[in-house]
């Protein structure tokens, strides 16, 4: 779109003779081979970036040329590059609002005051607008820094770098042997209450050193630092300093050095703390040193060292790849991409940028947004876990900042942006249908819904060889490992009491038979009595014989006979029902699955399909069906393999000695497996997925959020 060359407002400026204020400094920079000019205002420590054609105009702002002359000169020198009148007015207005312009007329005082007020408000908003980061300026460190300028130059020179390397590199080497010592029981040590206090006290000190690093590096490079203060970052005081003067440094490495200075100082401090930590006996000082190390290395590398957040690494990155304003420009580029390819507006102007730059924009915009959202959500959740009320407020704020404000902005853009004016209907239709699609997907389209559980592969009852009677094992009738068929006797036991009783009963029967025979001829009536006694004893004998027969434990199914503790068995006493071994073979195994309380309702009521995967054959996907469900919750796991210590997911109470007792009650299900012929190893882990009735995502999410709130916060 070509903007008109002439402005209808030209008459107001044409005869003015503006002059650039004397204190403004112009710096020439090269960014990716292009010339840019930075106009620095030392008074407000703001820096403005201009193109060479704007620079030509700026250089002519000497109070002798009228604006009309400026424009003519610009046209003569720049040809097609010359700014239009509107652009020129824009430039002058921009300089004026940055307080960099003097004019030959009485300025509009009311406007100046109104602007001052607006800026004040904006500053207040920046300071206090974000409750997660409240900014409080403290003092102007410039004079202090100027006094020790010589020293600072020395520190931030090659000598300083050498000293830094000498101190930090050995620490890197030495840290590996001490790694286990340092990381042992890490989270418990760090989050213990007394340690948190130490952390809270040490953190601001270290960060103050960090900021002094920035400030001194800026000073060493010839810049001025006028603002130093603290930010209450999530109620934790964190110092900050304004090192924007470094933006005008000619060398990009020098600029990057200012950005890296903070981290450099911290790593230096961490290295020294590490050496001391090695030397000192355990105690309070050592604990403090540990924390110093922790903050000065881990936290700084995590936060400041991540270019996706707008901390130090971002500025280092921006300086090194010579793309100032990367974040804002990638946002604009994303806006362009959306308008061009989603809303399908042909005539949107593509933001300037080479191909390589565009790749940066696309990548950076995406990654940083995603990362920022993640970090915010995590911080909010973490705080919510500690202080529920504040956490929820912060979470709401975070959600507003991350989701609602952008959405409101997007809607306003759609409704009001002049760029979309001609295509507003279509833009609205496209974005409306996208939103509608999303809503439909979220609220109406049923989506697969699963719960996951773990279990163990379990043998069916008939595959277990259980002692059929109390008794001592005498011998194994079948060599373990051989095939048996159903009904084969496997193990013979003996029970001396039973044998004695058998023998007694036999004797008794023999005795009564003899007596009966004797009486039969003598006394018929007496013989009748004896006969009845004999019948009783015979019945008793049959019973005891039966019990004796049970001393032979038989196979209840076909397969291979397996005995886990063959050597100890002979001579050992087993109670009836105790497990002796297994007959593994033709029986299909089942899975015994432990389902936590929160999922049991879904599993019971809405399960459509069950999929089981044994851990040794992850590609095998078995269909299952519920065979038995234990209606009451149990305290013990069927196998220790399901507990955390056995490699499972369920937390187990270590104090209980009787077995794997869970901290929360669980429900057990036996699931029959189809398509699994024979299994070699029992008791192994299986992963089970219960497919529930399909439900829209919103319902699923609502349920999990509800559950999360209920379990964490009791609301």
- 383: left (phi > 0), else alpha (psi -120 to 50), else beta? alpha
For residues 44 and 22, what is the distance between their CA atoms, to the nearest angstrom? 14
Query: Six-digit token pair at 455?
Result: 């279990």
Give the number of residues in contact with other proteins, rule: CB under 8 A: 39
Nearer to other proteins by Cβ, of 92 and 467: the residue is 92
422 near other proteins (CB under 8 A)? yes
For residues 591 and 691, what is the distance between their CA atoms, to the nearest angstrom? 16
Residues contacting 433, CB < 8 A, separation 6+: none
Environment class of 10 (CB within 10 Å of its CB; exposed 0-12, middle 13-18, buried 19+): middle
Nearer to other proteins by Cβ, of 110 and 632: the residue is 110
| Cβ at position 400, least distance to other proteins in Å | 17
Nearer to other proteins by Cβ, of 424 and 554: the residue is 424
Q: Which of residues 144-183 bind other proteins (CB under 8 A)?
A: none
Nearer to other proteins by Cβ, of 7 and 700: the residue is 7
For residues 25 and 41, what is the distance between their CA atoms, to the nearest angstrom? 7
Phi, psi of 411 (to 5 degrees): -65, -45
DSSP 29-97: EEETTEEEEEEEETTTTEEEEE-HHHHHHHHT-BSSS-HHHHHHHHHHHHGGGPPPHHHHHHHHHHHHH
Q: Which of 45, 75, 195, 698 is in the footprint of other proteins by CB under 8 A?
A: 75
| Cβ at position 19, least distance to other proteins in Å | 10
Nearer to other proteins by Cβ, of 121 and 572: the residue is 121
Query: Six-digit token pair at 87?
Result: 């652009």
Q: Which of residues 111-150 bind other proteins (CB under 8 A)?
A: 111-112, 115
Segment lying near other proteins (by CB under 8 A), choices 77-85, 197-205, 316-324, 626-634:
77-85
370 near other proteins (CB under 8 A)? no
Q: Which of 95, 317, 318, 383 is in the footprint of other proteins by CB under 8 A?
A: 95
Q: Which of residues 18-57 bind other proteins (CB under 8 A)?
A: 18
344 near other proteins (CB under 8 A)? no
65 near other proteins (CB under 8 A)? no
| Cβ at position 429, least distance to other proteins in Å | 13
Segment lying near other proteins (by CB under 8 A), choices 99-107, 386-394, 654-662, 702-710:
99-107
Compute the residue count for the chain. 715
13 near other proteins (CB under 8 A)? yes
Segment lying near other proteins (by CB under 8 A), choices 103-111, 186-194, 355-363, 574-582:
103-111
| Cβ at position 417, least distance to other proteins in Å | 12
Q: Parallel, antiparallel, or unpaired for β 590-596 and 661-674?
A: antiparallel
Nearer to other proteins by Cβ, of 105 and 605: the residue is 105
> In the 8-state DSSP scheme, what is residue 586?
S
For residues 259 and 217, what is the distance between their CA atoms, to the nearest angstrom? 9
Q: Which of 66, 84, 306, 519 is in the footprint of other proteins by CB under 8 A?
A: 84
| Cβ at position 113, least distance to other proteins in Å | 11
Segment lying near other proteins (by CB under 8 A), choices 88-96, 170-178, 357-365, 406-414:
88-96
Segment lying near other proteins (by CB under 8 A), choices 32-40, 105-113, 229-237, 282-290:
105-113
Q: Which of 82, 212, 316, 453 is in the footprint of other proteins by CB under 8 A?
A: 82
Q: Which of 52, 63, 107, 571 is in the footprint of other proteins by CB under 8 A?
A: 107
CB-CB contact of 35 with 28 (8 Å): yes
10 near other proteins (CB under 8 A)? yes
Q: Which of 63, 93, 170, 654 is in the footprint of other proteins by CB under 8 A?
A: 93
522 near other proteins (CB under 8 A)? no
E strand residue ranges, 464-543: 464-466, 471-476, 483-484, 489-494
Segment lying near other proteins (by CB under 8 A), choices 87-95, 195-203, 645-653, 687-695:
87-95
For residues 614 and 603, what is the distance between their CA atoms, to the nearest angstrom? 19
Segment lying near other proteins (by CB under 8 A), choices 82-90, 156-164, 313-321, 470-478:
82-90
Q: Which of residues 380-419 bind other proteins (CB under 8 A)?
A: 418
12 near other proteins (CB under 8 A)? yes
Q: Which of 103, 369, 588, 606 is in the footprint of other proteins by CB under 8 A?
A: 103
CB atoms inside a 10 Å sphere around CB 589: 23
Segment lying near other proteins (by CB under 8 A), choices 84-92, 140-148, 163-171, 206-214:
84-92
689 near other proteins (CB under 8 A)? no
| Cβ at position 86, least distance to other proteins in Å | 10
Secondary structure in 3-state letters for 627-680: EEECCCCEEECCCHHHEHHHCCCECECCCCCCCCEEEEEEEEEEEEEECCCCCC
Q: Which of 22, 105, 522, 605 is in the footprint of other proteins by CB under 8 A?
A: 105
| Cβ at position 115, least distance to other proteins in Å | 7
| Cβ at position 33, least distance to other proteins in Å | 24
426 near other proteins (CB under 8 A)? no
> In the 8-state DSSP scheme, what is residue 4?
P
For residues 488 and 466, what is the distance between their CA atoms, to the nearest angstrom? 14
Distance from the first to the final alpha carbon of the chain: 56
| Cβ at position 338, least distance to other proteins in Å | 23
Q: Vertex 313, ends 364 and 46: CA angle to 5°?
A: 90
520 near other proteins (CB under 8 A)? no
101 near other proteins (CB under 8 A)? yes
Q: Which of 47, 74, 92, 228 is in the footprint of other proteins by CB under 8 A?
A: 92
List Cα–Cα distances, 32 to 52, 310, 324, 377, 414, in angstroms: 15, 22, 10, 36, 34
For residues 362 and 370, what is the distance between their CA atoms, to the nearest angstrom? 12
2 near other proteins (CB under 8 A)? yes
DSSP 403-466: IIHHHHHHHHHHHH-GGGGGGHHHHHHHHHHHHHHHHHHHHTSEEEEEEEEEEEEE--GGGEEE
| Cβ at position 112, least distance to other proteins in Å | 7
For residues 550 and 561, what is the distance between their CA atoms, to the nearest angstrom? 18
Decide: helix, strand or coil at residue 499.
helix
| Cβ at position 9, least distance to other proteins in Å | 6
Decide: helix, strand or coil at residue 550.
coil
Residues that bind other proteins (CB under 8 A): 1-2, 4-6, 8-13, 16, 18, 75, 79-80, 82, 84, 89-90, 92-93, 95-97, 101, 103, 105-108, 110-112, 115, 347, 418, 421-422
């Amino acid at each position: 779109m070509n903007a008109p060359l002439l402005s209808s407002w030209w008459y107001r400026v044409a005869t003015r003779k503006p002059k650039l204020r004397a204190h403004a400094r112009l710096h020439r920079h090269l960014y990716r081979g292009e010339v840019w000019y930075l106009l620095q205002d030392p008074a407000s420590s703001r820096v403005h970036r201009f193109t060479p054609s704007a620079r030509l105009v700026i250089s002519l702002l000497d109070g002798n040329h009228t604006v009309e002359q400026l424009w003519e000169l610009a046209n003569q020198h720049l040809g097609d590059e010359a700014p239009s009148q509107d652009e020129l007015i824009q430039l002058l207005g921009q300089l004026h609002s940055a307080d960099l312009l003097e004019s030959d007329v009485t300025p509009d005082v009311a406007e100046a005051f109104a602007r001052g007020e607006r800026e004040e408000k904006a500053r207040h908003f920046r300071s206090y607008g974000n409750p997660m980061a409240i900014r409080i300026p403290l003092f102007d460190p410039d004079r202090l820094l100027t006094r020790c300028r010589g020293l600072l130059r020395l520190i931030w020179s090659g000598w300083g770098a050498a000293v830094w390397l000498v101190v930090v590199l050995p620490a890197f080497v030495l840290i590996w042997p001490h790694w286990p010592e340092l990381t042992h029981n890490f989270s418990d040590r760090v989050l213990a209450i007394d340690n948190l206090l130490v952390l809270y006290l040490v953190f601001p000190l270290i960060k103050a050193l960090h900021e002094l690093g920035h400030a001194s590096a800026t000073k060493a490079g010839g810049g001025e630092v006028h603002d130093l203060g603290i930010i209450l970052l999530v109620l934790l005081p964190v110092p900050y300093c304004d090192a924007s003067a470094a933006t005008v440094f000619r060398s990009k490495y020098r600029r990057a050095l200012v950005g890296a200075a903070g981290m450099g100082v911290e790593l230096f401090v961490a290295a020294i703390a590490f050496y001391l930590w090695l030397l000192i006996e355990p105690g309070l000082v050592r604990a403090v040193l540990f924390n110093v190390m922790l903050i000065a290395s881990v936290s700084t590398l995590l936060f400041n060292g991540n270019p996706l957040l707008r901390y130090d690494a971002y500025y280092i990155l921006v300086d090194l790849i010579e793309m100032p304003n990367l974040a804002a420009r990638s946002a604009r580029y994303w806006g362009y991409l959306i308008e061009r390819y989603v809303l399908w507006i042909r005539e949107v102007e593509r933001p300037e940028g080479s191909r390589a730059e565009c790749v940066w924009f696309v990548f950076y915009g995406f990654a940083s947004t995603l990362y920022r959202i993640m970090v915010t959500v995590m911080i909010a959740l973490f705080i919510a876990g500690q202080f529920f009320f504040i956490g929820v407020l912060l979470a709401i704020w975070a959600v507003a900042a991350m989701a609602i404000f952008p959405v409101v902005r997007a809607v306003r853009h759609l409704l009001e942006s002049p760029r979309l004016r001609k295509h507003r209907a279509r833009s609205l239709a496209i974005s409306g249908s996208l939103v509608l699609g999303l809503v439909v997907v979220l609220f109406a389209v049923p989506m697969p819904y699963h719960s996951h559980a773990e279990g163990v592969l379990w043998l069916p009852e008939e595959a277990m060889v259980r002692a059929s009677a109390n008794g001592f094992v005498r011998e194994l009738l079948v060599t373990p490992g051989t095939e048996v068929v159903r009904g084969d006797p496997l193990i013979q036991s003996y029970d001396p009491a039973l044998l004695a009783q058998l023998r007694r009963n036999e004797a008794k029967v023999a005795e009564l038979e003899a007596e009966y025979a004797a009486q039969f001829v003598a006394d018929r009536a007496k013989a009748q009595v004896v006969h009845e006694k004999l019948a009783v004893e015979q019945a008793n004998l049959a019973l005891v014989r039966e019990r004796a027969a049970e001393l032979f434990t038989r196979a209840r199914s076909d397969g291979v006979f397996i005995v886990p503790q063959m050597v100890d068995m002979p001579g050992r006493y087993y109670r009836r029902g105790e497990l002796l071994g297994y007959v593994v073979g033709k029986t299909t195994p089942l899975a015994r699955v432990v389902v936590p309380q929160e999922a049991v309702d879904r599993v019971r009521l809405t399960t459509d399909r069950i999929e089981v995967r044994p851990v040794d054959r992850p590609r095998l996907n078995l269909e299952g069906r519920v065979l038995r469900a234990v209606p009451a919750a149990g305290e013990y796991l069927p196998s220790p393999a399901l507990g955390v210590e056995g490699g499972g997911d369920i937390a187990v109470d270590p104090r209980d000695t009787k077995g794997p007792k869970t901290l929360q009650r669980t429900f057990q299900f036996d699931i029959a497996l189809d398509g699994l012929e024979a299994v070699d190893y029992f008791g192994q882990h299986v992963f089970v997925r219960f497919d529930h009735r399909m439900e829209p995502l919103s319902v699923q999410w609502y349920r999990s959020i509800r559950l999360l709130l209920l379990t964490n916060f009791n609301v």
